[in-house]
Amino acid sequence: MSELQYKVVVGLEIHVHLGTKTKMFCGCELSFGEEANSRVCPVCLGMPGVLPVMNKQAFEYAVLVAMALNCEVAKFTKWDRKGYYYPDLPKNYQISQYDLPLSRNGFIEIPLESGKTKRIGIIRAHLEEDAGKNLHATGNFSQVDLNRAGTPLLEIVTEPDMNSAAEVRALAEELQRIVRYLGVSEADMQKGHMRFEPNVNLVITKNGKEYKTPIVEVKNLNSFRALEKSIEYEIGRQAERFLETGEVMEMGNKSTHGWDDIKEATVLQREKEEAHDYRYFPEPDLVPVELTEQWLKDIKSRLCELPIKKQMRYVNEYKLSDYDAGVLTAERTTGEFFDEVVKAGGEPKRVCNLLTQVGLKLANEKGCSVAELGVKPDALAQLAKMIEAGTVSATASTVIFEKMVKAGKEPEIIAKEHNLIQKSDAGKLKKIVEQVLADNQKAVDDAKSGDKKSKKAMSFLLGQVMQKTKGQANPKVVSEILEKKLG
């Protein structure tokens, strides 16, 4: 197989469950894993005579996401019925938005491995209701569970701006981080809170000519890994198929493939895209939504600094590593707590170390966020300052942080109570150093020798001093004294 030159083109259709208390158009609670058909009412069952009532919270959540995705939010938006027959769709139409979606023309910044970001266009984001689930048990019948029917669903459609499987995964993870930051969705892929349907094809360059392979839509992706793998698989499959058949994109040859998690391959579901006629028309049972300036302002006030912005700020302003910045911004509460500690005077790098090396571990053990450990930002900032000033060692700070969580006391008090204050008094330390030097003539000679033994001898002597002070000596000060004496 000759080396094929190609560009990968991927656009995504994404469905995000909004984590409201109740469903999109009725008062049923959202649920997961409940007994089938236990969270239903006449409205979400599509009984005769029922009418939908819009869930205001769902609408506000949707607008919030749209704003975070830099979309133009429509002042006037309406509902439409999308008609198709399927047993999991009780009314045989879905209430959705067709020609006047609540938002369009946005973009999302995704982090790249290079440390840079890339902007992916958002065509539109609109609200709709989810369907139920068909359960295919054994026997010559199927069952329908309508607990999920009517769950508020935000549909986001991106431009085909992604050019690799890694970029697609980065977008998916970034979107998950955003909706979690905004507190509008748990965004748990296993629970189906986020569903991704990539449209993949290749632009192949051969003999100076460009060829586009037929678009494939991939369904049934229930993890980030599956999402990434499916695109990698499609790239290989489409390239091979092009070499075999030369087939290129044309009207009506888009196909749908399902992802087989076990075979790690996409499997053809529908050869040709069926000419669906959804017979959209305006939903007469709902009134259009007019977003007033005040309402828009109220929703906007709930926006927060987006994770990617935060992450870049940590890297650029605080000189944190990409990795550390990523860890601190994975959850909104962590980043916000970090910001508060820094604001209270903690040196960013020290605070970062405290949080990433101790705080997150403790929070994880307790099953809470770092902000819920019971340590006030002020107190942690103080601990960071103590490290900075050499009052306590980095090693001791770990112990102090742990005890702060347990005892809820100020770091200084804990340090004193547990004798964790570093001895930095040069006068006192000098005497101990002299004692150690006197007791270890061989090492002193080695250290003075100036050859490669000297480094080892120096650290040995430093260790001896630390041992004598039960680890409380400030190693920096001790080193200085040693250098002076032996240098």
Interface positions with other proteins (CB under 8 A): 42, 45-54, 81, 83, 85, 87, 90-93, 142, 144, 277, 279-281, 284-287
**Closest alpha carbon to 158 in 148, 170, 142:** 170
Q: Residue 465: is it exposed, middle or buried by C-beta count within 10 angstroms (0-12/13-18/19+)?
A: buried
Residue 311, token pair as written in the block: 């992450």
Three-state DSSP state, 13:
strand
Q: How far is the CB of 324 from other proteins (least distance, A)?
A: 50
Question: In terms of CB distance, is 21 or 279 closer to other proteins?
Answer: 279
Residue placing its CB nearer to other proteins in the complex, 4 or 51: 51
Closer of 45 and 166 to other proteins (Cβ): 45
Minimum separation from the CB atom of position 142 to other proteins (A): 7
Q: Which is nearer to other proteins, 82 or 257 (CB)?
A: 82
CA 322 – CA 310 distance, rounded (Å): 11
- Listed residue (422, 462, 466, 4) closest to 203, CA to CA: 4
Specify the DSSP element, H or E, that contains 270.
strand 265-270
d(CA 208, CA 360): 54
Nearer to other proteins, 288 or 374 (CB): 288
CB 187 within 8 A of CB 179: yes
Name the minimum Å distance from CB 90 to other proteins: 6
Shortest Cβ distance from residue 277 to other proteins (Å)?
5
Give least dist CB 283 to other proteins, A.
8
CA 236 to chain centre: 28
Give the relative orientation of helices 332-343 and 377-389 as an angle to the nearest 10 degrees: 60
Amino acid at 204: I
For residue 47, the minimal CB distance to other proteins (Å) is 7
Tell me which amino acid residue 118 is: K
Look at strands 5-17 and 152-158 and give their pairing: antiparallel
Smallest gap from residue 102 Cβ to other proteins (A): 17
> Considering only CA atoms, which of 280, 256, 275, 276 is closest in space to residue 267?
256
In the complex, least distance from residue 257 CB atom to other proteins, rounded to whole angstroms: 23
Q: Smaller CB distance to other proteins: residue 59 or 242?
A: 59
Which is closer to other proteins, CB of 91 or CB of 332? 91
**How far, in Å, CA of 9 to CA of 159, rounded?**
10
Give me the torsion for CA of 278, 279, 280, 286, rounded to 10°: -110
Which segments of 210-331 does DSSP mark as H helices, in order?
Answer: 224-245, 293-300, 307-318, 322-329
Instruction: Single out the residue of 457, 345, 358, 348 nearest to residue 406, CA to CA.
Output: 358
Nearest approach, Cβ of residue 11 and other proteins (Å): 23
Closest CA to 291 of 37, 471, 460, 64: 64
Beta carbon nearer to other proteins, 276 or 442: 276
48 or 487, CB closer to other proteins?
48
Distance in angstroms (rounded) separating the CA atoms of residues 71 and 121: 10
Using the minimum distance from each CB to other proteins, give the nearer residue, 3 or 277.
277
Q: Which amino acid does the sequence have at 405?
A: V
> How many Cα atoms occupy the beta-carbon half-sphere of 140 within 13 Å?
0
Q: Token match 């006037």: residue? A: 76
Please, which residue, 234 or 283, has the CB nearer to other proteins?
283
Nearest approach in angstroms of CB 51 to other proteins is 5
If the CB atoms of residues 84 and 323 are measured against other proteins, the closer one turns out to be 84
Shortest spacing between CB 103 and other proteins, in angstroms: 21
CB of 108: closest distance to other proteins in angstroms?
Answer: 31
* Integer CA distances (angstroms), 454 to 123, 397, 442, in order: 66, 30, 11
SS (H, E, C) 7-49: EEEEEEEEEEECCCCECCCCCCECCCCCCCCCCCCCCCCCCCC
Contact by Cβ (8 Å): 461, 481: no
